[in-house]
Amino acid sequence: MKILKVSLFVLLGVAVIIAAYFIGYKAGADVVRNGLLANHPTIKNVVQSSDIEIDSTLTFTITPQDASALINLLGNSTAGESIQVSVPYYGLYGVDLAIRHFRFFINDENEVEMWLPGVTLRYCELKFDQLLINGQPAATANSPNLHKAMYAYLIPLLGKNRAALKTAKLAVTKALMYYFMPYKFGLRLYIDKEFQDLPLVPGANL
């Protein structure tokens, strides 16, 4: 009988220890999860650090009807003719939160729901030393006026690069998945009010 009582006490003690462990583990996990949600600067940094880099060459044709002043600055052409321009560039595409607001919260499905502004061309550098006009080096490549006009003409075009914008959205999505999902958070993400499908990402949801 004494042996039975001792065994019961031992089992009860083990059960209490196990229960305390799981309660403590859950409490610790909740502290970590709450800390992730409360850390706005880190979340902001995760988003802004997911910029993608594009190092490529843009080739396009300009007609006198499109931009006669730019054609004149580029030179290397006969008056009234269209010209083909080729210029290497380096660009960064991503979400700029320095001057734009974002918000996130736990929704009714117990997911992290996040609303971000749209992806933009955050930085661009044109490499004028490799500028070609109709396949030939540009005689006016060092002209400050040309540089100013080229940026004014090309920034809007590069800002609409659909492939780069799509890739940048995917990079932001993956970065946030890596941040939240290992800690058992679901994620519902909107970029520029557009819902983002979550890809399968090893270490996050795979």
Q: Look at 18 and 133; give whichever has higher pLDDT.
A: 133
List of E strands, the chain: 52-62, 83-94, 103-106, 111-116, 120-126, 132-133, 136-137, 186-191, 194-196
> pLDDT class for 82, splitting at 50, 70, 90?
confident
Residue 95 and residue 172 in contact, taking contact as beta carbons nearer than 8 Å = yes
pLDDT at 18: 43
pLDDT of residue 78 exceeding 90, the answer is no
Phi, psi of 184 (to 5 degrees): 70, 25
Q: How confident is the model over 43-55, as pLDDT tens digits?
A: 999 999 999 999 9
Tallying the residues shown for the chain, one arrives at 206
> pLDDT class for 2, splitting at 50, 70, 90?
low
Q: How confident is the model over 104-129, as pLDDT tens digits?
A: 999 999 999 999 999 999 999 999 99
> pLDDT class for 21, splitting at 50, 70, 90?
very low
Q: Look at 77 and 143; give whichever has higher pLDDT.
A: 143
> pLDDT class for 71, splitting at 50, 70, 90?
confident
Q: Left, alpha or beta for 135 (phi > 0: left; psi -120 to 50: alpha)?
A: left
pLDDT at 38: 81
pLDDT at 37: 85
Q: Look at 1 and 173; give whichever has higher pLDDT.
A: 173
pTM over 0.95: no
Identity of the residue numbered 157: L
Q: Taking residues 138-142, report their average pLDDT.
A: 88
Alpha-carbon distance of 58 to 185, in angstroms, equals: 41
